[in-house]
A = this chain, B = another copy of it.
Amino acid sequence: MSQRLLSPDELEAALRAVGAERYHNKHRFHARQYGGKCTYEEVQAWALNRYYYQATIPIKDAIVLTRLTDAEDRRQWRKRIEDHDGLKPGDGGIERWLKLTDSLGFPRDYVESTAGILPATRFAVEAYATFVRERSPVEAVASSLTELFSPTIIGERMSGMLANYDYVSKDTLAYFSYRPTQAKRDADWALDFVKTHAKTPEQQQAVIKALEFKCDVLWTQLDALWTGYVENYRSPGVWEPGTVATPRSRAA
């Protein structure tokens, strides 16, 4: 199907429509989590698996950095790596995620080994890194645009989890209190980049597809959590609730 050239505003509307249909705030695991229906073990599994996503983001962003040919673009993009890796030891988004897995009783070396994550988590996250390596730079940037939609899901997740789970606190969820400001700055820049650089109908359709792909990466991770820890149908070798982590009764 041939497509006409969209105006920048029409392209933005098309991108926002992708989020409205496919972002993982519409997944049943998210509703279960912020609605207070998750067991402690489900929250543990979510934090353990999502660590691999968090830890891969600055590597993914470093790959994108290798694809940007303009120094000013790279300066802007570099902020993302700084946010996740921090400016000094003990700082940054990955460290804040580890504070969350600490609070859920996991030893750091186990979390960092990613030995217990679900295979589908690994495959989805690796697909994201591969995507930004193999596709065009504008598609790589566009795949980050799920950040346009993250303030809403973060708001629901934080208020819902604080209201429903006595073992989480603003302190253990500190990762999320930093993200909306960072995500807004990054998403504004990336949206402007995509609207400027996707100049043909083919490029515009490719960036829309890139955002659909990224929504699939997030959605697939929640599907896998549901199968593994809500249905408790797990492939051999993944983290078994009741093992490795300090049980809730003895957790901080």
Binding site for B on A (CB under 8 A): 21-22, 28, 119-120, 122-124, 126-127, 130, 212-213, 215-217, 219-220, 223-224, 226-227, 233, 235-237
Report the Cα distance A213→B227, complex, angstroms: 19
The distance in angstroms between the C-alpha atoms of A226 and B236, with both chains bound, is 17
9 contacts between A and B (CB under 8 A): A22-B235, A22-B237, A119-B217, A119-B220, A120-B123, A120-B223, A126-B130, A212-B237, A216-B235
Q: Which residues of B contact A21 (CB under 8 A)?
A: 236
Closest chain B residue to A24, Cβ basis: B235
Which residues from B are CB-within-8-Å of A217?
Answer: 119, 123
In contact, B130 and A220 (Cβ under 8 angstroms): no
Q: Which residues of B lie under 8 Å from residue A119 when comparing CB positions? A: 124, 213, 216-217, 219-220
**A222 and chain B: residue at smallest CB distance:** B235
**Chain A at the B interface: SS class:** helix
* Chain B contacts for A22, CB-based, 8 A: 235-237
Given A22-B235, A22-B236, A28-B233: A124 touches B130 (CB 8 Å cut-off): no
A22-B237 Cα distance, complex, nearest whole Å:
9
Copies in the complex: 2
With A and B bound together, what is the CA distance between A21 and B130 in angstroms? 30
Taking a contact as CB atoms closer than 8 A, the residue among B130, B215, B227, B237 that contacts A223 in the complex is B227
Complex CA gap A39/B22 in Å reads 27
Report B-chain residues with C-beta under 8 Å of the C-beta of A233: 28, 223, 226
Minimum CB–CB distance from A153 to chain B (whole Å) comes to 16
A37 to chain B, nearest CB (A): 16
CA A122 – CA B130 in complex, angstroms?
12
Please indicate the chain B residues that have their CB under 8 angstroms from the CB of A127 in the complex: 122-123, 126-127
Q: Closest B-chain residue to A227, C-beta based?
A: B223
A226, A227, A233 pick with most chain B CB within 10 angstroms: A227
Interface centre among A120, A126, A237 (most CB of B within 10 A): A120
Of B124, B212, B215, B226, which is within 8 A of A123 by CB? B124
For residue A164, give the distance in angstroms from its CB to the closest CB of chain B: 23
CB pair A223 B224 closer than 8 Å: yes
The chain B residue with its CB closest to the CB of A235 is B219
Q: Which residue of B lies closest to A216 (CB)?
A: B119
A219 to B236, CA, bound (A): 10
* A32 CB to nearest B CB, Å: 13
Q: Could you tell me the distance between the alpha carbons of A220 and B119 in the complex, rounded to whole angstroms?
A: 7
